[in-house]
Amino acid sequence: MKKLLPTLVTLFLLVSCGGTKTPEETRKEQLNKDKDAYIYGIESGVVELEYDQTDSKEITYFDRWGARRAIYTMQGDGEGNYTNEKIEIHIGADSYTVDMKTKKGRKLSNPFGQFSGSESSGYQESRQQRLAGAEKLADEKVGDKTCEVWDITMFEVSTRIYLYKGITLQNQIIMDGETFKSKLLRFEENAKVEAAKFDVPKDVVFQ
C-alpha cells in the first residue's frame, strides 16, 4: 500500500488539474462560442452613424464578435452638442433598453440562450432580414467596404439596410415621400472597447 500511495497521489493531482480550466482558457472558449454565433464577422469595433434630418447620432460599440454590444442614441441641439437619450445593451441572450431621460428601462432575456448561425446562413442581421421577407439587392459600397443590401417595404414604409460582415454601416427609410438616410462618420475595425461601455446604468428602474 505504501508503494501505491505516491502513484495514487500523482493520479489524483493529474485528474484535479485536468478538470480545472484557467481563466484564459475559459475566456477563449467563450470567445469561440461567440464567434460561432455569427452575429458579426469582426471581433470588436466602433460604428458611428449620423442622421442629418433629425440631428441625431447612433454610436455602436461591440466586442466578442458582436455578442456584447452597446448602442448609444445621441440627440443634437443644432449647435454641435449632443445628449445621450437612449442606450441599448446586448450581452449574450440578455438585452437592456434604457431611456436616459426618464431613467426607466426594460430587460429581455432569451430563455433559449444565444442563437448560433453558420457561414452558409449568414450573419445574424442577414438571417433576420431574410426571415422578415426582405429582398437582397446587388452589393454596394459604403466608403471602402462592400456591403450586402437588403430592402423591405411594410405599411408603405421602405427600409434599406447596408451590412458589412453583419454590421450596419448605413440605412435608409422612405416614408411619405421623404427619404431619411444615415451617413457613416466612423468605423473602427478591431478597436479595443473599454468594458465600461457595456455597463448597465445603476440608477435605472426596470419595468
pLDDT score of 14: 42
Question: How is residue 114 annotated by DSSP?
Answer: S
Higher pLDDT, 44 or 35: 44
pTM equals 0.84
Ranges assigned E (strand) in 5-127: 45-51, 56-63, 68-76, 82-91, 94-99, 104-109
Cell numbers that stand for 21 in this block: 480550466
pLDDT of residue 46: 98
What mean pLDDT, rounded, does the chain reach? Answer: 87
Three-class secondary structure of residue 97 per DSSP: strand
Rounded to whole angstroms, the Cα distance separating 129 from 147 reads 14
Tens digits of per-residue pLDDT, 86-97? 999 999 889 999
Q: Any alpha helices (H) in the chain, and if so which ranges?
A: 4-18, 23-36, 124-131
Q: What are the pLDDT digits (tens) for 54-80? A: 889 999 999 999 999 999 999 998 888
Place of cell 446586448: 90
